[in-house]
């Protein structure tokens, strides 16, 4: 079973490498100051934004889950949005993603979240195969406007 724990400041270098792989997968570039601010929020260990990491055999991170807890107009309790999920390609198909999702559910339950949800690209076939096993697709489409 893969161990999952909270992201800490000492995970910075390993997380940064995983984050770079995640951004590359989604063909997205972020300014360094955004990445630095994201890591600071995720590793703070408090607040609505938190990070989880899956440990490899050496104890270093091989995957991450970034969670955002937020109010909802449809429930009294917060929702848990799994904003980012990524596993190092060398660690895929070993249960790491399942362990990160299970830990996400556990953290959502611990905080009393009414719902846990996420989104992915239609073409993410590998991810969607797992997601279909651990959650229900809700049928909503996502629209967005970037500033």
Give me the percent of the chain exceeding a pLDDT of 90.
86
What confidence tier does 40 reach under pLDDT thresholds 50, 70, 90?
very high
| Higher pLDDT among residues 147 and 28, named by residue | 28
Q: How confident is the model over 40-69, as a mean pLDDT?
A: 94
Run of H or E residues at 4: strand 4-6
Predicted confidence at residue 129, as pLDDT, reads: 94
**pLDDT tens column, 64-111:** 999 999 999 999 999 999 999 999 999 999 999 999 999 999 999 999
CA geometry: angle 19, 105, 129, nearest 5 deg = 70
Q: 3-class SS at 138?
A: coil
Pairing between β-strand 61-70 and β-strand 49-55 as defined by DSSP bridges: antiparallel
Contacts of 114 (CB under 8 A, 6+ apart): 72, 74, 75, 76, 77, 78, 79
> How distant is the alpha carbon of residue 127 from its chain centre?
12
Is residue 147 predicted with pLDDT exceeding 90? no
As given in the structure block, the two tokens for residue 134 are 């651990």
pTM for this entry = 0.94
């Amino acid at each position: 079973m893969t161990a999952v724990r909270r992201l800490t400041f000492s995970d910075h270098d390993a997380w940064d490498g995983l984050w770079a792989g995640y951004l590359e997968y989604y063909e997205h570039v972020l300014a360094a100051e955004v990445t630095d601010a994201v890591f600071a929020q995720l590793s703070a260990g408090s607040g609505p934004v938190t990070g989880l990491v899956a440990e490899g055999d050496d104890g270093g991170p091989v995957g991450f889950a970034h969670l955002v807890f937020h109010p909802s107009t449809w429930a009294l309790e917060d929702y848990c949005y799994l904003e980012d999920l990524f596993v190092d390609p060398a660690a895929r198909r070993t249960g790491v993603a399942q362990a990160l999702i299970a830990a996400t559910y556990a953290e959502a339950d611990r905080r009393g979240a009414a719902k846990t949800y996420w989104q992915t690209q239609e073409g993410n076939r590998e991810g969607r195969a797992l997601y279909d096993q651990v959650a229900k697709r809700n049928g909503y489409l996502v629209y967005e406007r970037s500033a």
